[in-house]
A and B are shown apart, each in its own frame.
Chain A
Amino acid sequence: MQDNMIKTENLCILDKKFAVINPCKMCQPMGAVQALLGVKGAMPIIHGSQGCSTYMRFQLCRHFREPINVSSTSMSEGTVVYGGEGNLLKALSTIWKEYNPEIIGVTSSCLTETIGDDMALIIKKFKNSHPDEDLPPIVPINTPSYSGSHVDGYDKAVKSLVENLAHPEGKNKKINIIPGMISSGDVAEIKNMLDELNVGSIFLTDNSESLNAPLNDDVAFLPDEGAEVEEIRDSANSIATISLSKHADSAAMFLQKKYGIKSISGPLPVGIRNTDQFIGYITKITGTKIPKSIEKDRGIMIDAIVDAHPYNYDREVAIYGDPDVVTGMARFICELGMIPSVVCTGTQSSRFVQDMENIAEENDFSPVILAGRDLYDLHQQIKCMDLELLIGNSYGARIAKSEDIPLLRMGFPVYDRLGAQRISILGYKAGIRMVDIITNTILENYYDESGHEFTNFNEISC
């Protein structure tokens, strides 16, 4: 982590340079698996040792509180020496026969990338050995865990899906939406807005129902909702692709380059301005008019922000997590009159740093920007500041507790609260709820029961 990008004003001494302590990121296969869990009938396989799929299922289960199936090729000593071809062939056959998936996504791992397995070739062999069978599409996704992070893994998975499946055939008048790693609730918020705008869409991918499912005496081993294989094929025929998360736009770039489909990257529609921008893109691309219902929601959100301002203004906040969620929330926090004084992401990204610098310039403040750093660095930084709110995932709960700062949980993973997949921040409707939640957190912690700020009258000088 020698080449970390840190803005130096206000910076504490962070002299840890090599080790990671309490990471603020996960490995690539985790992101790829999350993308695949938004594809209807998809079975993800991690080509590696079985710990990878078990660890990830554990993380995903405790976040979503839903059944999560991620298969493994269960590599062992012998197969490591001779290559994983036999294991992958056997796994494909087992999965295909046992689970009858509509599509199989095969991600690699640090193990199989290190030994150099050629997954595309092995998949081809599998197909060749079943010439007369109706096999589901099998998509290889190269996700070496020793480079990038889960954010890149998600991006690569969506790109692989599109590269392998997208097929040009006429025009469909739809907009492709690549959500990035956002909650089921947020995907649903975007879908609802597009419905209100009367715009057809293809989500690449769509976890809105697959990871927020009803209990009805029936268990789906593969996602029984989500982006359909046919929809992914049809993505080559859309009017444009909007990548809500900038860091998930490789598939959009591919579609633009190969099929001339316009690509728009972010920003994540959090808060007023970013949502305005999103709606603006949609109306510009499709010529649709903004309906009264959306105008009304925007108005209510503005009203809420006005009501909230006396409580929130000038309060300093730290935000950590995935880059697009952090920059989205940072801009929103500024709209509330608050100051995102520290922002941290585990992913090394110049785009993140650039976005944060733009937000800082627009709002005239200078945040400490920790990119490619970890939660230990964040904690050290927070210790030498006077912050009043933390925003991020459950891994920061320890920091919040030890520094006695309230934590607003969002992102991934959120395992110490219920309803992680329903935490939504995108668009005006969720935005209204977020204004309430943020402000009420401030009121709960810094105001008394009659709604007045705690004041130490001894400190007031005349």
Chain B
Amino acid sequence: MPFKLFEVDKEIPDREKHIYVKDEADPVEHIPKCNSKTIPGCMTERGCAFAGVKGVITGAVKDVVHVVHSPVGCTTYGCGSKRYPTSPDLPNGGKFPVENFNLKYIMGTDLKESDVVFGGMKKLRQSILEAAKEFPYVNAIYTYATCTTGLIGDDMEAVAKELSEETGKDIVTFNAPGFSGPTQSKGHHVGNLTLFNKLVGTKEPPETTPYDINLIGEYNIDGDLWVIKPYFEEMGINILSTFTGDCSHDEICWMHRAKLSLVRCQRSATYIAKLIEEKYGVPYIKVDFFGPKYCAENLRAVGKYFGKEAEAEKVIESRMKKIQAELEFYREKLEGKTVWVFSGGPKNWHIPQPLEEHLGMKTVAVSTMFEHEDGYEKIKERVGEGTVIIDDPNSLELEEIIEDYKPDIILSGIKEKYIAHKMGTPCMLIHSYENGPYMGFEGFINLARDIYASIYSPVWNMLEFDEMGEE
């Protein structure tokens, strides 16, 4: 009985296909139904395609200004919401004048009723020109279609083309209105295709080395990238382009010049790695970089590819030495604790094994908002027997998972966090972190520290009224 209908889903029996309990005896193709339309009214945690492209893919680029072609809401909500820090360093050795520019500014066309009736092209044109005027130092302008502009059919491409010449800046249009696709995943795809088609191959890097790599699907959440970057530097490997954590616009343009691509978030960015391989013959390998074991495996694979095995071993050894004592401390504290991982996608298969192998924790439930079949296959392979795997859980299912599987900790997003807390279950953020970074060897210690601190917070012992005065 691999699929499971939750008690709360009696009225929406279609949910049964989305919830699978791992059983080794089942055929491989038994995975949750996924990447399909949400049941209306189901209280999904999913977002929209615009959020997928701006929030995930392009929001991390440091030197572009974003012009959201929309009524005001999408612009406000799209402002600096994901924790993607950037440094001012540019590949040509220069400095971008505003630190964390990508988190500080967002522009929009602020469409009004008359624009909806008569079209928003004029407003878009004016806004792009103002973007170029107010932020003359940006290296490109990215514009986004949204639900309204997708419907009224504004020819954003034409405006972008015309103004690219006029302003002398790349103007890139992303056509992922909110209603397209079943989840934000559609926006990731559009983002990949757009950046590949319009930018990759259009510029040459200032210099190349035989050890240039693309680090794809790494967005520098709370500094994740900055933890693993030194590993490569110490190995003599040069990150030519990051897609897109702390990256500059130009880096995307010369991704074709790398010798190898590494793909970390394989849900949101395998597309571009494949396209670059097909067109330019740059091979790619899939990496995790969460937890010491995967980190070591990934570094060894890169070392092997470039004939730098010894350098890889040196990095691994130095980092293991650095974290060993702390790792042992946290393992002692966390052994046997249970966890539920609810991520957008990949952290469902990045996290469970490191938690088990290094900390002795048991993953009792995993769930994603927007994984596809290939992701669920990986998840199924990597979680233990009896783990429940849920596609797009709704709010009531969250409660049932907590009650039935009783996780000691939940790793999820902010919308779930306060539901879990009200039920007395600690929950920490795994999409954007509160106290990251969590990637790499050192990042894993941060993750372990936060899990430990959340579970062992003194507050959980005070939920019951303590009648001190009673004799």
Q: List 6 A-B contacts (CB under 8 A).
A: A50-B38, A62-B414, A73-B41, A74-B39, A74-B46, A146-B148
| A385 on the B face (CB < 8 A) | no
Question: B181 to chain A: closest CB distance in Å?
Answer: 7
Chain B residues near A220 (CB-CB < 8 A): 422
| B275 on the A face (CB < 8 A) | no
Contact A111 B418 (CB under 8 A): no
In the complex, residue of chain A having the shortest beta-carbon distance to the beta carbon of B115: A146
Contact A23 B75 (CB under 8 A): yes
| B269 on the A face (CB < 8 A) | no
Question: A345 to chain B: closest CB distance in Å?
Answer: 13
Chain B residues near A88 (CB-CB < 8 A): 40
Q: Mark A282-326, 1 if CB is under 8 A from B, else 0.
A: 000000000000000000000000000000000000000000000
Task: Knowing that A90-B40, A346-B72 touch, tell me 18 more A-B residue pairs with CB under 8 angstroms.
Answer: A23-B79, A23-B108, A28-B73, A30-B73, A48-B178, A49-B147, A54-B47, A73-B41, A74-B40, A76-B181, A90-B39, A90-B41, A145-B72, A146-B113, A215-B424, A217-B423, A219-B423, A376-B105
| A387 on the B face (CB < 8 A) | no
In the complex, residue of chain B having the shortest beta-carbon distance to the beta carbon of A93: B41
| A97 on the B face (CB < 8 A) | yes
Contact B41 A111 (CB under 8 A): no
Counting chain B CB atoms within 10 Å of each CB, the highest count among A17, A59, A114, A395 belongs to A114
Separation of A50 and B44 alpha carbons in the complex (Å): 8
Contact B46 A145 (CB under 8 A): no
Q: Which of A63-71, A165-173, A332-340 contacts B (4 or more CB under 8 A)?
A: A63-71
Contact A22 B79 (CB under 8 A): yes
| B239 on the A face (CB < 8 A) | no
Contact A61 B415 (CB under 8 A): yes
Contact A19 B422 (CB under 8 A): no
A19-B110, A49-B179, A51-B50 as given contacts; A110 in contact with B147, CB under 8 Å: yes
Separation of A97 and B182 alpha carbons in the complex (Å): 23
Contact B147 A20 (CB under 8 A): no
In the complex, residue of chain A having the shortest beta-carbon distance to the beta carbon of B127: A19
Contact B415 A57 (CB under 8 A): yes
Counting chain A CB atoms within 10 Å of each CB, the highest count among B106, B115, B415, B421 belongs to B415
| A230 on the B face (CB < 8 A) | no
Separation of A76 and B12 alpha carbons in the complex (Å): 20
Contact partner, B130, options A19, A68, A144, Cβ 8 Å: A19
Chain B residues near A109 (CB-CB < 8 A): 147
Chain B residues near A30 (CB-CB < 8 A): 73
Chain B residues near A215 (CB-CB < 8 A): 421-422, 424, 463
| B321 on the A face (CB < 8 A) | no
Residues of A within 8 A of B (CB): 1, 16-23, 25-30, 45, 48-52, 54-59, 61-62, 65-69, 71-77, 79-80, 87-88, 90-95, 97-99, 109-111, 114-115, 144-147, 149, 213, 215-221, 346, 376, 395, 398
Contact B395 A58 (CB under 8 A): no
Question: B385 to chain A: closest CB distance in Å?
Answer: 30
Separation of A91 and B74 alpha carbons in the complex (Å): 23
Counting chain A CB atoms within 10 Å of each CB, the highest count among B48, B104, B123 belongs to B48
Chain A residues near B463 (CB-CB < 8 A): 215-217
Chain B residues near A144 (CB-CB < 8 A): 71, 113
Contact B38 A98 (CB under 8 A): no
Contact B38 A74 (CB under 8 A): yes
Contact partner, B422, options A61, A67, A75, A90, Cβ 8 Å: A67
In the complex, residue of chain A having the shortest beta-carbon distance to the beta carbon of B48: A51
In the complex, residue of chain A having the shortest beta-carbon distance to the beta carbon of B116: A146
| B134 on the A face (CB < 8 A) | yes
Chain A residues near B51 (CB-CB < 8 A): 51, 54-55
Contact B104 A20 (CB under 8 A): no
Contact A74 B44 (CB under 8 A): yes
Separation of A1 and B108 alpha carbons in the complex (Å): 12
Separation of A219 and B423 alpha carbons in the complex (Å): 6
Q: List 3 tightest A-B contacts by C-beta distance, closest first.
A: A51-B48, A27-B73, A91-B41
B73-114 contacts to A (CB < 8 Å): 73-79, 81, 104-113
Contact partner, B77, options A59, A97, A147, A149, Cβ 8 Å: A59
Contact B422 A218 (CB under 8 A): yes
A19-B109, A74-B38, A221-B396 as given contacts; A54 in contact with B45, CB under 8 Å: yes
Contact B48 A217 (CB under 8 A): no
In the complex, residue of chain B having the shortest beta-carbon distance to the beta carbon of A145: B71
Counting chain B CB atoms within 10 Å of each CB, the highest count among A66, A74, A79, A90 belongs to A74
Contact A71 B43 (CB under 8 A): yes
Separation of A25 and B419 alpha carbons in the complex (Å): 27
Contact A23 B414 (CB under 8 A): no
Contact partner, B48, options A49, A68, A79, A115, Cβ 8 Å: A49
Contact A146 B71 (CB under 8 A): yes
Chain B residues near A45 (CB-CB < 8 A): 41
Question: A453 to chain B: closest CB distance in Å?
Answer: 32
Chain A residues near B401 (CB-CB < 8 A): none
Contact B41 A95 (CB under 8 A): yes
Separation of A76 and B36 alpha carbons in the complex (Å): 11
Contact A19 B77 (CB under 8 A): no
Contact partner, A56, options B12, B43, B77, B130, Cβ 8 Å: B77
Contact B148 A54 (CB under 8 A): no
In the complex, residue of chain A having the shortest beta-carbon distance to the beta carbon of B416: A67
In the complex, residue of chain B having the shortest beta-carbon distance to the beta carbon of A109: B147
B394-411 contacts to A (CB < 8 Å): 394-396, 399
| B8 on the A face (CB < 8 A) | yes
A77-B180, A213-B422, A215-B421 as given contacts; A110 in contact with B41, CB under 8 Å: no
In the complex, residue of chain B having the shortest beta-carbon distance to the beta carbon of A54: B47
| B449 on the A face (CB < 8 A) | no
Separation of A376 and B105 alpha carbons in the complex (Å): 9
Contact B71 A110 (CB under 8 A): yes
| B37 on the A face (CB < 8 A) | yes
Contact partner, B415, options A1, A54, A98, Cβ 8 Å: A54
Chain A residues near B79 (CB-CB < 8 A): 22-23, 395
Contact B151 A26 (CB under 8 A): no
Contact A110 B148 (CB under 8 A): yes
Counting chain A CB atoms within 10 Å of each CB, the highest count among B74, B77, B424 belongs to B77
In the complex, residue of chain A having the shortest beta-carbon distance to the beta carbon of B75: A23
Chain A residues near B116 (CB-CB < 8 A): 110, 114, 146
Question: A116 to chain B: closest CB distance in Å?
Answer: 10
Contact partner, B419, options A58, A99, A219, Cβ 8 Å: A219
In the complex, residue of chain A having the shortest beta-carbon distance to the beta carbon of B11: A97
Contact B151 A19 (CB under 8 A): no
Contact B421 A23 (CB under 8 A): no
Contact partner, A111, options B108, B131, B178, Cβ 8 Å: B178
In the complex, residue of chain A having the shortest beta-carbon distance to the beta carbon of B464: A217
Contact partner, B396, options A66, A98, A217, Cβ 8 Å: A98
Separation of A23 and B123 alpha carbons in the complex (Å): 16
Separation of A173 and B101 alpha carbons in the complex (Å): 56
Separation of A29 and B71 alpha carbons in the complex (Å): 12
Separation of A65 and B421 alpha carbons in the complex (Å): 10
Chain A residues near B182 (CB-CB < 8 A): 76
Contact A98 B41 (CB under 8 A): yes
In the complex, residue of chain B having the shortest beta-carbon distance to the beta carbon of A28: B73
Chain A residues near B152 (CB-CB < 8 A): 114
| B126 on the A face (CB < 8 A) | yes
Contact partner, B71, options A27, A55, A221, Cβ 8 Å: A27
